[in-house]
Structure 1
């Protein structure tokens, strides 16, 4: 049979590095292709690298059909599950795959909710059903969304790692994402650098490991630097608000000291008067 290579499916999972591809090629040449390639009809689902190497060297291979696939989304979910279980997949790759899985499941939930609600709306006038109590979920209520904790468990990551990978995935420049994939920067540092404008991220990534480290350090130091409570200038005097606030606080402290000094002096006078009445020789 003719095997069809769908380029979108082939690119759905990050490609092997040159070293990983060379190692796989040596293994196939020495031991043959022991694992069957997975097909969906004529479409190749799993084994793109093995298929390419086997064709290049004329190595025999077997195929197996997965008859459970109903749609391309099913194929994507299956591919994600397969790669989440592989030890060679990096933490960042597992996080991205888990986020893709959640996006697919969220889209399915939305579609199912809309379909069930349409069916419910169409049947309600005929059935004349009693109103649903306010504290009960409607019959078309979707299943709960995949939580970050469950997402982390499936990806074998911590919840904080998933949060950082979400930030990188949504905010990082392509050059920064590539730096994470190649190990030039850690996930935590990349999430920090992703806070910068895209052009600064790109410049740091192009500068290499040292520049990426320095960029992450600058962001962390800026976050630790104390900020004034207010900013701007007073509209009447033109004095910076922060400076005016400091001057005002100093004046309040001076008035408080003067008030306490006066109270202390009055108490001393009362004490002297009391001693005089009692004939205290200490007066």
Structure 2
């Protein structure tokens, strides 16, 4: 079977877990590969896991070429957001990477609607600009372990950004492990953080400009009532 390179946009999206891949592989074994692997200029833009499963099962996959009139970045984003259950944090990481990519980085530049601003990337991935900025902080200042925890959906990007800002690099791996142990997967911490931030910002803007520092002091008094949890979530 011919080997194909991955298109850069395909690399933005996290790989399936081994459990997810085995489920896909079992389905292809039982029912065949019903969805084509999509190529753009000879590189895989959609279907890398189907291609891997077919290779391991020694099944010839169906291949399809994306029309050059399509934007490959928009195509891949649409496919993955519709099909995969990505957390807010995972989408923010992808948006941050998308905003970082520049025209002329590779031969696909004329089809990439970049340089995307943070706002445009956030809109494309359906996340807030603030969450994308948090993802950028993790990418710039976070340890590999901290970045991995966010990319795999084990830790919220806002929590990881806080660790990246306040924890020495040598201690971030331990902090990442403790943070993932405390994560409640049923609670969307990033979405809740954005709602809290927007509400606080809205309320602070109701105050006269020369009195907002007083409002901020009141907020701090409220925060002081909720000290950091020791050894678990409060």
In the alignment, which residue of structure 1 is the partner of 2:48?
48
Report 1 or 2 for greater relative contact order, CA contacts < 8 Å, sequence distance ≥ 6: 2
Provide the C-alpha distance between the structure 2 equivalents of 1:57 and 1:161, rounded to a whole number of angstroms.
40
Please tell me whether the aligned partners of residues 4 and 44 of structure 1 are also in contact (alpha carbons under 8 angstroms). Answer: no
Alignment of 1:265-276 (within 5 A): none
Provide the C-alpha distance between the structure 1 equivalents of 2:115 and 2:43, rounded to a whole number of angstroms.
31
CA RMSD of aligned residues (A): 3.5
Count residues in correspondence. Answer: 177
Provide the C-alpha distance between the structure 1 equivalents of 2:136 and 2:144, rounded to a whole number of angstroms.
14
Whether 2:103 is the aligned partner of 1:107: answer yes
Alignment of 1:31-180 (within 5 A): 31-68=31-68, 75=72, 78-104=75-101, 106-107=102-103, 146-180=116-150
Please tell me whether the aligned partners of residues 175 and 202 of structure 1 are also in contact (alpha carbons under 8 angstroms). Answer: yes
Q: TM-score, normalised by structure 2?
A: 0.61
In the alignment, which residue of structure 2 is the partner of 1:205?
176
Provide the C-alpha distance between the structure 1 equivalents of 2:158 and 2:42, rounded to a whole number of angstroms.
42
Residue 46 of structure 1: how far off its partner (Å): 2.2
Cα 1:157–1:197 change in 2 (3 A) is same
**What SS is found at the alignment partner of 1:64?**
strand
**Structure 1 stretch displaced more, 82-91 or 19-28:** 82-91
Please tell me whether the aligned partners of residues 7 and 45 of structure 2 are also in contact (alpha carbons under 8 angstroms). Answer: no
Provide the C-alpha distance between the structure 1 equivalents of 2:99 and 2:84, rounded to a whole number of angstroms.
21
Unaligned runs of 5+ in 1: 109-142, 214-223, 226-283
Provide the C-alpha distance between the structure 2 equivalents of 1:176 and 1:144, rounded to a whole number of angstroms.
27
Cα 1:144–1:176 change in 2 (3 A) is closer
**What SS is found at the alignment partner of 1:45?**
strand
Provide the C-alpha distance between the structure 1 equivalents of 2:115 and 2:39, rounded to a whole number of angstroms.
30
Please tell me whether the aligned partners of residues 96 and 165 of structure 1 are also in contact (alpha carbons under 8 angstroms). Answer: yes
Whether 2:190 is the aligned partner of 1:189: answer no
Residue 11 of structure 1: how far off its partner (Å): 4.4
**What SS is found at the alignment partner of 1:55?**
helix
Larger radius of gyration: 1
**What SS is found at the alignment partner of 1:107?**
coil
Alignment of 1:6-21 (within 5 A): 6=5, 9=8, 11-21=11-21
**What SS is found at the alignment partner of 2:33?**
coil
Unaligned runs of 5+ in 2: 105-112, 185-219, 222-234
Cα 1:88–1:184 change in 2 (3 A) is closer
Residue 103 of structure 1: how far off its partner (Å): 2.6
Residue 207 of structure 1: how far off its partner (Å): 4.9
